[in-house]
Chains A and B, each alone.
Chain A
Amino acid sequence: DAKTTQPTSMDCAEGRAANLPCNHSTISGNEYVYWYRQIHSQGPQYIIHGLKNNETNEMASLIITEDRKSSTLILPHATLRDTAVYYCIAWREDMRFGAGTRLTVKP
């Protein structure tokens, strides 16, 4: 089962792109990469997921390297409301969350 590694914290200027990295070097071929975020003490919110192709939706883009050992979540124009903890997870039946990356968007 894949373990993911993320930086503890990151800052980003408002209006700039936020690029959040995730390492998942032990991921297997059929494990999807999922991204969630948690704002304050709310329940985690699903953002995006992918297997091997890059994905984009209204919230973010997900870039997965060709070898699938790492991925990057991109918030194209970060706002103050994007300040949150972001979790990168490889899907498994017993979904487990790590510590995530605390993103702070600054004015």
Chain B
Amino acid sequence: NAGVTQTPKFRILKIGQSMTLQCAQDMNHNYMYWYRQDPGMGLKLIYYSVGAGITDKGEVPNGYNVSRSTTEDFPLRLELAAPSQTSVYFCASTGQANQPQHFGDGTRLSIL
């Protein structure tokens, strides 16, 4: 049982490059989330989705895009990477309202 799988685990980008952080879950969960966590800080919600085809902005969506074409996958796209986007990115999912979130192991992204 894989749970929530994030790829890659580590990545270094140059300023202005773009990339997609992948997140997949095999639990048939409806809700999926992307968070970022800067050193010494709490998690900030970037985007979330309550089901395939539906996405909504969180607290810090600027500079990111998401899509939810399937229940399983929720990729996060960074366009024109900036040093301020250096962070650890966590993906999470939950099956339905009032159920616990399951988190992935995170993607550590550095932009130089």
Question: Interface of A with B (CB < 8 Å)?
Answer: 32, 34, 36, 41-46, 49, 85, 87, 91, 93-100
User: Please, which residue of chain A has its CB at the minimum distance from the CB of B47?
Assistant: A94
Residues of B near A98 (CB, < 8 A) are: 42
Counting chain B residues whose Cβ lies within 8 A of the other chain, the interface size class is 20 to 34
Contacts of A85 in B (CB 8 A): 42
A interface, over-half SS: loop
**Given contacts A87-B42, A96-B45, A43 and B100 within 8 Å (CB-CB):** no
B48 beta carbon closer than 8 Å to chain A:
yes
B residues near A96, Cβ cutoff 8 Å = 45, 58-59
How far is it, in angstroms, between the C-alpha of A102 and the C-alpha of B104 when the chains are bound?
A: 21
Q: A41-B88, A46-B102, A87-B42 are in contact. List 16 more A-B contacts (CB 8 A).
A: A41-B37, A41-B106, A41-B108, A42-B106, A43-B92, A43-B106, A44-B101, A49-B98, A91-B98, A93-B31, A93-B50, A94-B45, A95-B33, A95-B101, A98-B42, A100-B42
Q: Kindly state the separation between the CA atoms of A97 and B36 in the bound complex, as whole angstroms.
A: 11
Which residues of chain A come closer than 8 Å to B56, judged between CB atoms? 94
Question: In the bound complex, what is the Cα–Cα distance between A76 and B100 (angstroms)?
Answer: 22
Complex Cα spacing A106 to B31, Å: 38
Residues of A within 8 A of B98 (CB): 32, 49, 91
